[in-house]
Amino acid sequence: MVCKNCGNEIKDAAAFCPYCGTPIEKEDSNSTTQENSVPAEEPIKTYIDQPFEGENFAEPDFNIENNTKKHMPFNTKDLPSIVKSESLNFIKNIKDNLPKVKNYIINKKKWFIGGAIALVIIIAGVCWLNQPALTGISATYNGDCSNGVVLDENTKGFVVYGFYEGGKSKKVHNWTIQSPQTLKTDEAAKVKVEYKGFSDYLVVACSTKTVLRITPTYTGELSKGTAVTKDNWRIEAQYNSYDENYTTGDITENCTIEPANVTLEADGSYEFTIKYTDPANNKEFKETYKLACSDRTVTKLEASYSGSKSEGTVIDASSDITVTATYKDGTQEKVTGWTIDKSATLKADETASIKITYKNKSCTLKVECSSLSPSKYKAKCQSISYDNLARNPEKYKGKLVKFTGKVIQVQEAESILYYSAYRINVTPTGYGYYDDTVYVIYDNYGSDSRILEDDIVTFYGEFTGLKTYTSVMGASITIPEVHAEYID
């Protein structure tokens, strides 16, 4: 494009000539090419004709009129229209290029999002490739266990964990149950859970169980005037089990108790009937339970003793005594809370009498001492030949025997914890000699009188059987053994 005023070549989109300042008239739109209709992208250039000398500019001329003529070679009156025209062109350029800028930003954003997604996929793939190998699984079930429940992948309550190399574990999903099972009353279902080539078996017991038996227990008072109601009872049911690990449960509220309301009276005895119907199979259970008022009239009292009866035994309220009371209605029961007037100490050849009282009723317990006086004990001992004792030990074992003989060996006790032992020959052979040895055990620690070898003694005691020992020559010797109570 050429300026009509000065003839210099100017840009097609220029609004005025940069050389002479002459405004450029726009041609008719029909004759203007499409290329000339596009606003110029480059800014308007201004030219300063100050000469350049070496490293310094020429001294500027500060005369306004001269500068205006030099640097603005156009009519200043046209300046507002020029600025307005250039501003409109600038705004038009912005509007025309706005879609391009917007598309550029959108494309950049798409590339950024796509790159981020690709990066995430790459990281996930690397993590998946580097995860530890699965080594096993473990499955549990805590869901509904009632009759008819189907155990499959859709049943709530299954929890499956996977175990990995390095000891790590985590909850896994997408496991399968190839053979679903249905829970049945009193039975258990075995379920196989599978995941990535590994499996775990679960045994799920059905919670619906039939009742085996019912057990009623009365928990209230038994005193006169007590009202027996359902609140005084606890009835438990024992349920069937596939593995014999029977369970129990409280079914009191679902039981009927007849009679329903009873007030206990003194000396009264009552029988209750408890009924229960099992909802699992409609089977009816029935139990009877007897109650007796604790305020009862005792008509008779009896006592027995099962403790030691040896000499020196003390009998008191802590001893092995059993007291039985007979009531007005004829029933009997073992009772506690009885008292003894005075304790007793058992003496040889004597019988002790102990008075026992319970609810204003008394009885006398008689206990005969099992220990005999020396004279009576010796009188009970039998003279048995050595030959009969040695030949028939089982016949005389436990019998009280007596022998007279000569002591041939003494082994005295070293403390109260031990017995003295003697070997005594009991069969006289003449001229003061004896034969046939008996092994005698005797408790004489602390006795003033010692027993010595060659003493002639008579001993009384219990035959306990045969004694076998090894002689100094290494021979095995078997002889009768007697635990002596007295040695004279």
pLDDT band with cut points at 50, 70 and 90 for residue 26: low
pLDDT value at 237 more than 60: yes
pLDDT in tens, 428-449: 998 889 999 999 999 877 677 8
Mean of pLDDT values over 413-431: 84
> What's the pLDDT score for residue 55?
44
pLDDT in tens, 89-124: 666 666 666 676 667 667 767 777 877 888 888 877
> What's the pLDDT score for residue 47?
42
pLDDT band with cut points at 50, 70 and 90 for residue 129: low
Mean of pLDDT values over 198-202: 95
* C-alpha to C-alpha distance for 290 and 142, rounded to whole angstroms: 42
pLDDT in tens, 295-328: 889 999 999 999 999 889 999 998 899 999 998 8
pLDDT in tens, 345-356: 999 888 999 999
Average pLDDT, the chain: 84
Give CA torsion, residues 469, 473, 474, 480, to 10 deg. -20
Mean of pLDDT values over 164-183: 93
Mean of pLDDT values over 42-66: 46
Strand-pair category, 321-327 with 332-335: antiparallel
> What's the pLDDT score for residue 82?
63
Q: Which CATH number fits domain 374-487: 2.40.50.140, 2.60.40.10, 3.40.50.10680, 3.40.50.11390?
A: 2.40.50.140
Which region among 165-174, 353-362, 469-478 has the lowest average model confidence (pLDDT)? Answer: 469-478
Query: What number of other Cβ atoms are within 10 A of residue 208's Cβ?
Result: 18
pLDDT value at 128 more than 70: no
- Taking alpha carbons only, the member of 268, 262, 265 closest to residue 329 is 268
> What's the pLDDT score for residue 351?
92
Which region among 53-57, 259-263, 419-423, 462-466 has the lowest average model confidence (pLDDT)? Answer: 53-57
pLDDT value at 138 more than 80: yes
* Position 300, amino acid: K
pTM, entire model: 0.42
Mean of pLDDT values over 348-372: 91
When comparing pLDDT for 134 and 88, which is higher? 134
pLDDT band with cut points at 50, 70 and 90 for residue 159: very high
pLDDT band with cut points at 50, 70 and 90 for residue 378: very high
